[in-house]
Structure 1
Amino acid sequence: MARSHSRGRSRAKTPPPGSFRIIGGEWRRRRLPVPPVEGVRPTPDRVRETLFNWLAPVIEGARCLDLYAGSGALGLEALSRGAAGVVFVDCSPAVLRQLGESLALLGCERGHTVAMDAGAYLEGPASRFDVVFLDPPYRQGLLAPVLQRLAEGGWVGPGSAIYFEHEAAVAPPALPPGWTLARSAAAGQVRYHLARLEPQTTGQT
């Protein structure tokens, strides 16, 4: 959908779209460029609309992490809807350059880009996030380990929400202890989910 140049989907050979639009919030209807990187695709409007309907009670004032940021559509949408801040993590210089330009164009100082592989980033010192957007390259077995690392490394805690997606042909990964699958939907060949850490069930502080 939206993310890393290494996603490896069959449609990656098609030239990337030139822009995407913010669908809600302060910058509603604003169009932003997509970095010209193979495999980067903005998360479709209808998926973002569904996701942010799910997140409506918590997104304002939230601290967000956009792993495998790609086009940055999810993190930028979160900022438009009042997130306190978003950390965009990607290993592509072109992706990060375009994200920086988009943040400057919007006059937004609440976004921060990190040039790093997502797995390596999660091995560093943890900072607690309220919302995590997770869309790793498909067919590389990354999703389950990254979810586990988020749980074990202290990146999320009671009340956090974690969005993740995967190809429709495979079952969703087992969730770490204390996580519940709150929402699920499908769009084409993709399934996407929202997991939550329930304060009464998690042992994290």
Structure 2
Amino acid sequence: MSNKGNKGSFRIISGKYKGRKFEFLPSKDLRPTPDRLRETLFNWLGQVIDRKTCLDLFSGTGSLGLESLSRGAQKVTFIEKNFEHFDKLKGYVKTLDAIEKISIINKDVLAWLDETNDEFDLIFVDPPFYEQLAEKVLLKIKTKSLLAKSGNIYLEVEKDLDLSFLKMDWEVIKETCSGRKQYLLLKEK
């Protein structure tokens, strides 16, 4: 996406902040999950978000974590390395009355995963494309037991990524493709 002064936007689909719109400057490294696909994801999850802890890795705009918060998540942790995206996300959060439910961290995802021992009910993994990060992130989540026993991982990756690394430890519950992306809901085997 080129940045010619045009603004992109996303909206919260459901819950407490339904209809709330957030704007951002388009960037080649920013790919907010489209409304239609976020709606599909949250339909897959059903009511599982209510009172759950969520982790939004490679947060970008934070659309997945913010949607979770709107739908009743108890706590949402955002991890975003890019300072501009991190700063914009902090601005979004200030407009909500949920500061006590949100943690925003400006750090490399792999470095943060090395440091944390927190457990999460739902983890969103939407890494930059073509950087081979999905497998590394899922391995850290598995080896550090960061996913709660009945938890799920939402994985959004490039369509042509070889996902054979999932077979050993992860069960694909739901999946779909759109354009150049594939979307998967996982649980630990």
> Aligned partners of 2:103, 2:129: CA distance in 1, in Å?
25
Cα distance change on mapping 1:138 and 1:173 into 2, 3 Å: farther
Give, in angstroms, the shift of residue 158 of structure 1: 1.4
4+ residue stretches of structure 1 with deviation over 4 A?
35-38
> Aligned partners of 2:135, 2:85: CA distance in 1, in Å?
24
> Aligned partners of 2:172, 2:126: CA distance in 1, in Å?
16
Corresponding position of 1:190: 181
Corresponding position of 1:74: 64
> Aligned partners of 1:71, 1:114: CA distance in 2, in Å?
13
Corresponding position of 1:50: 40
Gapped runs of 5+ residues in structure 1?
1-11
RMSD of aligned Cα (Å): 1.8
Question: Can you list the C-alpha shifts for 1:51-74, whole angstroms capped at 9, x where unaligned?
Answer: 001112311111000000001000
Alignment of 1:37-186 (within 5 A): 37-109=27-99, 110-175=101-166, 177-186=168-177
CA contact (8 A) 2:3 2:25 kept: no
Q: Which moved more, 1:30-39 or 1:59-68?
A: 30-39
Corresponding position of 1:4: none
**Structure whose residues are more often strand by fraction:** 2
> Aligned partners of 1:29, 1:40: CA distance in 2, in Å?
21
- Say how many residue pairs are matched: 187
Gapped runs of 5+ residues in structure 2?
none
Corresponding position of 1:24: 14
Give, in angstroms, the shift of residue 190 of structure 1: 0.6
> Aligned partners of 1:53, 1:161: CA distance in 2, in Å?
14
Percent identity, please: 35
